[in-house]
């Protein structure tokens, strides 16, 4: 297969490219390197630096790269906090970029897309684990734009025959087994890399926001998925579309949540180092428990997470952060 990966220099995108190339597939990457890194691009992938909002650029790539079988779309701004202070930036990049992309795909006869969505499309969950059929009522601009992108695929599908798979998930974590690529965000907002900044000498302590939630130890429970397992789910979704199957939405999760304190304790065990934690007040808008049911993805896509132990996830992340304390920057 020849797959176009948008945002293929980013965290989840780069790991998906590595898995595709390991499986012998041909990969073309488009990334504007706004949050991605040229060093994360697989040497065997064909890389074009450019922006999805630039139709001329997209057309030039699609004219050069004939016979693209499917697209995997990771390209988006994804900071929840920033999306609340700069909503128009998120509408511009996430929605306007996707609109221009779809115009180009239609013009070039490409009709299959796998979309990296988010469980933020659900907002405050009605129940846990969350099912695909549950209400979608995002509580932030980021989740709202991702939900709007899903709706765009749906209506374009009805009009132009586009088929899509949308994958909704929470916390991607861990790093590639080779140690060549991993998580590097500026600023970093994800729990596991923030915890690992403490033993790496980058941060004095990790904050625990709220210890009075109705959970087993009073701290928030979240679903964590190894980035390589996420990458495999995106590839299975491409294969599902290649088999001619209908558009669909799947949740991805390990189905088992871990509390903030459990994650910190596991990081202490993996690193063998003390990690200072400071208890602080709750943050506004943090639900007590967020866990997604991935039964549908297991049943229909045949997805089976292989790296779902928290210890393995943190161990792979620690190997990356220890050898790349500044991410991809020297």
Q: List residues with catalytic annotation.
A: 142
Residue 52 token pair: 């999805």
- Spatial neighbors of 136 by CB under 8 A, at least 6 apart, are 121, 122, 123, 147
- Angle ∠(114,116,122) on CA atoms, nearest 5: 120
Q: Is 249 exposed, middle or buried (0-12, 13-18, 19+ CB in 10 A)?
A: buried
Q: Is 10 exposed, middle or buried (0-12, 13-18, 19+ CB in 10 A)?
A: buried
Question: Which among 302, 289, 161, 149 is positioned nearest to 233, based on CA atoms?
Answer: 302
Looking at residue 130, what DSSP letter applies? B
| Coil vs helix vs strand at 265 | helix
Q: What is the number of alpha carbons within 13 Å of residue 133 lying toward its C-beta?
A: 2
Using alpha carbons only, how large is the chain's radius of gyration in Å?
19
Report how far apart, in Å, the C-alpha atoms of 151 and of each of 155, 163, 299, 327 are. 6, 12, 24, 35
Whether 209 contacts 281, CB under 8 Å: yes
């Amino acid at each position: 297969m020849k797959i176009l990966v948008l945002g293929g220099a980013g965290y989840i995108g780069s790991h998906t490219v590595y898995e595709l190339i390991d499986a012998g597939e041909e990969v073309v990457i488009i990334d504007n390197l706004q949050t991605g890194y040229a060093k994360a691009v697989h040497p065997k992938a064909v890389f074009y630096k450019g922006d999805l909002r630039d139709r001329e650029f997209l057309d030039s790539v699609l004219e050069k790269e004939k016979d693209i079988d499917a697209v995997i779309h990771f390209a988006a701004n994804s900071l929840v906090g920033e999306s609340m202070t700069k909503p128009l930036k998120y509408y511009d990049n996430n929605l306007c970029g996707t609109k221009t992309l779809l115009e180009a795909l239609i013009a070039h006869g490409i009709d299959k897309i796998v979309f990296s969505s988010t469980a933020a499309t659900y907002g405050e969950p009605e129940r846990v684990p969350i099912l695909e059929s549950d209400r979608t009522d995002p509580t932030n601009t980021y989740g709202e734009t991702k939900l709007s992108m899903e709706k765009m695929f749906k209506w374009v599908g009805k009009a132009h025959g586009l088929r899509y798979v949308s994958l909704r998930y929470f916390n991607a974590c861990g790093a590639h087994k080779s140690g060549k690529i991993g998580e590097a965000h500026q600023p970093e907002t994800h729990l596991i890399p923030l915890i690992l900044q403490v033993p790496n000498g980058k941060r004095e302590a990790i904050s625990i926001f709220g210890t009075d939630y109705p959970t087993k130890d009073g701290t928030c429970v979240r679903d964590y998925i190894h980035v390589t397992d996420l990458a495999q789910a995106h590839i299975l979704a491409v294969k599902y579309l290649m088999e001619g199957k209908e558009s669909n939405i799947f949740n991805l999760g390990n189905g088992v949540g871990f509390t903030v304190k459990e994650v910190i304790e596991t990081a202490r065990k993996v690193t063998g180092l003390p990690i200072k934690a400071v208890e602080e007040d709750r943050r506004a808008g943090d639900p007590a428990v967020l866990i997604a049911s991935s039964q549908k993805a297991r049943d229909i896509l045949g997805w089976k997470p292989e790296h779902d132990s928290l210890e393995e996830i943190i161990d792979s992340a620690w190997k990356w952060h220890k050898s790349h304390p500044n991410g991809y920057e020297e």
